[in-house]
A and B are shown apart, each in its own frame.
Chain A
């Protein structure tokens, strides 16, 4: 089974900061990688699919990159509404797996 490892576990940043979250797959998953934003009490929201495809309606300050085993989610200018937990997920094979999550706090 493919394991997904995210880092950091949590982070605190100021409004306007550039934020980078990394995700590593235990084996090559090409670009079968998605990123989600999850706020308490709400449904997770798909931000990026296929490692770098921004979903319609998602602000352009979010971007994804990487392929193979190493991936990155970047928020170029952090906004107060970006306070959430972010998850990566591989869709390369079954079983599907999520990373452990990265909690982003606003200072």
Chain B
């Protein structure tokens, strides 16, 4: 089935940058489209970004476009999310998720890493 483990969260001051990582195991990472999804405190799930299996295409939610960069290192089975200029509204649990090629659903999720934006 596979496993995903996020890291890199923490408390960060507004305007600073942060890089989240997601280590994958148990499935063929280099063949899988990967996503980031976040959940702000007390809110629902919000899709953030996708990167295709080979890194050739990325797409972002309007709320993060221009500030977030999704990338991957297939040689290290790792997904990244670079956040520039963090804002208080970026406070959330960030999940990485693997996409199934057949249905587009997310069949493997990490446990999440918490990002708190606070001065």
Contacts and interface: CB of A to CB of B under 8 A. Distances in A.
Interface of A: 32, 34, 36, 38, 42-46, 49-50, 53, 55, 85, 87, 89, 91-92, 94-101
Interface of B: 35, 37, 44-47, 50, 59-62, 95, 97, 99-100, 102-107, 109-112
27 contacts: A34-B103, A34-B106, A36-B45, A42-B111, A43-B95, A43-B110, A43-B111, A43-B112, A44-B37, A44-B97, A44-B106, A44-B109, A45-B109, A49-B107, A50-B105, A53-B103, A55-B107, A87-B45, A89-B45, A91-B104, A94-B59, A95-B59, A95-B61, A95-B62, A96-B50, A97-B47, A98-B44
Per CB-CB distance, the 7 closest pairs between chain A and chain B, nearest first, are A91-B104, A34-B105, A49-B105, A43-B109, A49-B103, A101-B44, A94-B59
Contacts of A89: 45, 47, 105-106
A96 B47 contact: yes
Contacts of B95: 43-44
Contacts, number: 69
Given A55-B107, A87-B45, A100-B44, 9 more contacts: A36-B45, A36-B106, A44-B37, A44-B109, A45-B109, A94-B59, A95-B61, A96-B47, A97-B47
Nearest to B44: A101
B103 A101 contact: no
